[in-house]
Amino acid sequence: MSTGRASPFSPRVALALVLGGALAFMALLWAVGSGMADPDPRPSEAHAAGKGLTGFAALSDYLKAREFEVSQSRTRAPHQRGGLLVLTPLHQTKSADISRAIGDHRRFGPTLLIMPKWLAVPLPPGSVALNPEVHPGFVKLIEAAAPQWKGFHDEVSVDLSPLPGGVAAQRWLMTGRSGAMAAPAKVLSGKGGQLVPLVSAGSDARMVAGYFADGGHYPALDNIALAPVPLPDEDEEIIVEGGPQAAAVAGPTPRFPLIVVFDPDLLNNYGMGNAANAGLAERLVQAALDGGDKHIVFDLTLAGYGRSQSLLELAFTPPFLAATLCLLLAAAVALWRAYHRFGPPVLAARSIAFGKRALVANAAGLLRRARRLHLLAGPYADAARERLVKALALPAQLEPGAAEAAIDRALAVRAPDAQTFSAAAADLRAAKRPRDMLRAAQRLNLLERILLR
């Protein structure tokens, strides 16, 4: 066997290069899957990262400071997890998307829907240079408009109108709390048959925040409600999957509450400039969670920054996780074998090498693989006899028996105590196992060496 030229790298260096490349590739996949390549949300829009008056960055930062676990999501995966889901849709958001997000999450946790009201434009970049108090993301309020979401809770109606009365009457009211409305001239309120008010505004007590009394059990919200909670009709049939028998066992429908904040000025950056609004926000969140997990997710998909789940996330999500683990195991096995196989490939030698020794070795290998070793005993003994006949100058026309007798007489002169040649040749011809044949051939070769000295 022979090898090519030596490799310029040692196996350890090669292994380090391969592992480094694999880790870099996995880091790239993670960066793409985590959304690092996606554009950042604009700070001038109405979402959890918005810095302007219509944004909710102040609410997010305040809840973090109050030791809530706050995060932002650009996928629909958190819609099917526990915790409080905060939805901040836009005017142009489709009502079907809002209803789907609410329906997906209410089986796992409470939902807080903040309706949009303001139409705003970001301040031009030159404003930052002219006014040090203006920061990137600040906006100018243009107009207020009520959202027109057809098909979203048809029994709910919204109204945009000013609050009556003076400054003293233009305030919001919550159980045990009160504060001034940020824009009393344009207040967005709502009403509906199943809505229970949590926050009212003005002397006419219009509802600016409430929750749906839809048969669920929400004791924390019931305690801070501004109106009696309507009791479900005793004659109304509760539809539970599995039929009436399952309904009798299951009891109340296992749903989490849906809270609607009609006027976003209660919780946006515009309103969070007032300390009373911060207390209102915390109390709403605590009542929604009702002592549960203090995890809050601000949804960005309805604000126009949603993205589909990446292939990397799907790869580590059942049922694709099993295939991913098998692939990683196969890659590890291939890497391990490649590490031991590293270097130039071994060049195969010639099938039949040059020289007598190589020719004999090849013939012996052929006989060994063919399992015909028993055919070698007789020819080997005859070849040894013919060599000794020539070496001792015996007549060539002698018969085999006479030739072996003449060799025995010559051997008796050289080594009287040695085995006779004819006996050693007979033992070789009678041997059946390879080991016995080898021993007999060695004795015959020893006798031949004695005679040829």
What confidence tens digit (pLDDT) does each residue in 252-311 have? 454 799 999 999 999 999 999 899 999 999 999 999 999 888 899 999 888 877 666 666
pLDDT tens column, 57-96: 999 999 999 999 999 888 777 777 889 999 999 999 998 8
Q: Is the pLDDT of residue 239 over 80?
A: no
Q: Please give the model's pTM, rounded to 2 decimal places.
A: 0.61
- Pairing mode of beta strands 295-299, 84-87: parallel
Terminal Cα distance for the chain, rounded: 38
What's the rounded Cα separation, in Å, for the pair 21 and 329?
Answer: 17
pLDDT tens column, 377-412: 888 888 888 888 888 888 888 888 888 888 888 888
Q: Is the pLDDT of residue 234 over 50?
A: no
pLDDT class for 344, splitting at 50, 70, 90? low
Any idea which residue has 């960005």 for tokens?
A: 300
Q: Which residues, in sequence order, are CB contacts of 176 under 8 Å at separation 6+?
A: 224
Residue 270: exposed, middle, or buried by beta-carbon count in 10 A (0-12, 13-18, 19+)?
A: buried
Q: Is the pLDDT of residue 353 over 70?
A: no
Q: Which of 217, 225, 228 is nearest to 284 (CA)?
A: 225
Any idea which residue has 């958001």 for tokens?
A: 93
Q: Which range is least confidently modeled, 184-188, 309-313, 423-427?
A: 309-313
Long-range contacts of 61-65 (CB under 8 A, 24+ apart): 62/272, 62/278, 62/281, 62/282, 63/281, 63/282, 63/285, 63/296
pLDDT at position 297, please? 93
CA atoms within 13 A on the CB side of 123: 19
